[in-house]
Amino acid sequence: MAAFVLLCLVISTLKQAGAAPGPSLAGHHSGSNTTFKEAATGQPRTDAATDQQHAAEREQQFLSWLSQEGASFESIRLGRSAAGLRGVFAAANLSKGDLLVAVPHHVILKLPYSSNDDFCEQGEALMLALLQRDPAHVAHLDVLPTLEESRMSPDTFHLPRSYWKLLQSEVAESFILNQRAALLQYWRRHQQRLQPLGASLELLRYTLWLTASRTFNYNETHFSLVPLVDMTNHVNGCPTVHSDKPCPNNPSETCFIIRAGAAIAAGNEVCNGYGYLRNDEAFLHYGFNLDEQQAAELLFVVDRHDASMEALAGVGYRAETRPPHFFRTRAALQAEQQRLQRRLQELQRGDAKAGSWPRALQDSSGVILQQLLQWRRLRQQAITNELARLHDALLELHTGGNDRSTASAAAQVQQRTARDEL
């Protein structure tokens, strides 16, 4: 299958596997810096306090516009998490089934769904909408995560080259290299047409970063940026429910609707989900680490016995909500245990250099480096957790007294894992 050969095919496969709007710094974002127009045209920056004031004004203008267009969102509000990240929060105690957001279809920004799976066309469409300040969507475009924020993301498009060795994964490095090569190939093919319009390779990289995490796939007809909904952040197993139904404020029009799939206490964040991500998927595709518990819950893709660039694209994994059990005999379990022990030791030896790794020129603040070091720590914890599960499965075999199939033992370990989660 050629899905891993080209960037655009890889990300298209991700979308078909269930990606929906949510994270990144394009989802896990502050939303408080220079607008796209200012950054793209080189307009001078103002101070941080003024930036924050302007961002707040843009958010208020956006909400006013959305309300005037017939959207319903009385039960939620925009806010900042403890880490300073923008998100959507419950304005009151909400029950399962309560309406969170209803957005009329006419305000949704639709991007092309290419029959040849060329996802780069979507990045181009969004880039041109931003450059031309599409009047039908300008209020929404002005509150998207900024070009400056994209430069602080550790995703595939923006991770500094000097940091790649810290990944300690040939699969991850090859994946990044293939995506970047395909992006460059697309730009060279279309540069002459796009550059006179104000486009650049950096702007295309930025809009691909946005579309990777902020768009919904509408039955393979188009991808859509849904105002307000695209400000929700990803959580594995998020219980929110999406549907297309008549708008509460205008039943003659269809709305994209999100309802609470479980009770949400006032002040708690309203989440979104686009597949059950492993942490290296979240990091490389969208530019963020999952929270501590979720990040270490499943073995990273790059550490699985079947790791590949195609696997890192998300093919076949998004439905797995707990660790799968591949190994059916004592010998197979022991071999996997030894493989992961060697991998863990390699990473631990690499920590000595990682701790004093020099900052990249484009990461003068060290923000990306710190996220990558956290990624390494979470990766090691995920391996440690997997080793514990393998140990339990071997122990079950030992108490069984023979070399029978481990299917029963694995099932018991899986049941205990589920009880622990509850």
CATH code for the part of the protein at 7-272: 3.90.1410.10
Distances (CA, A) of 404 to 94, 107, 176, 308: 50, 59, 42, 31
Backbone phi, then psi, for 133, in 5-degree steps? 50, 60
- Model pLDDT, residue 24: 32
Report in angstroms the alpha-carbon separations of 44 from 35, 47, 49: 11, 10, 15
Q: What value, to the nearest 5°, has the Cα angle with vertex 29 and ends 25 and 31?
A: 130
CA 313 to chain centre: 12
Q: Return the closest-CA partner of residue 272 out of 318, 241, 316, 227.
A: 241
Beta bridge pairs of residue 271: 233
- Least confident stretch, 3-12, 138-147, 157-166: 3-12
Residue 21 has pLDDT above 50, yes or no: no
| Domain-wise residue ranges, the chain | 7-272, 322-421
C-alpha–C-alpha distance, residues 316 and 23, integer Å: 21
Output the pTM of the full model. Answer: 0.82
- Indicate whether 35 pLDDT > 60: no
Strands (E), 305-345: none
Cβ proximity of 214 and 230 under 8 Å: yes
Tally the residues of the chain: 422
Q: What is the pLDDT of residues 231-265, one digit of tens each?
A: 999 998 899 999 999 999 999 999 999 999 999 99
Q: What is the mean pLDDT of the chain?
A: 83
Mean pLDDT along residues 325-334 = 82
Paired strand residues for 167: none
Whether 46 and 54 have beta carbons less than 8 Å apart is answered as yes
Query: How far, CA to CA in Å, does 396 sit from each of 65, 214, 320?
Result: 60, 44, 23
Instruction: Please report, in angstroms and rounded to a whole number, the separation of the first and last CA atoms in the chain.
Output: 38
Q: Which residues make beta-bridge pairs with 101?
A: 258
Nearest to 163 by CA among 376, 377, 383, 378: 376
pLDDT given for residue 400 in this prediction: 67
Please report, rounded to a whole number, the percentage of residues in the chain having pLDDT higher than 70: 78
Residue predicted with more confidence, 6 or 28: 28
DSSP class of 281: H
Name the residue with higher pLDDT: 376 or 306: 376
Structure tokens at 383: 């391996």
| pLDDT tens readout for residues 52-94 | 788 889 999 999 999 999 999 999 999 998 777 899 999 999 9
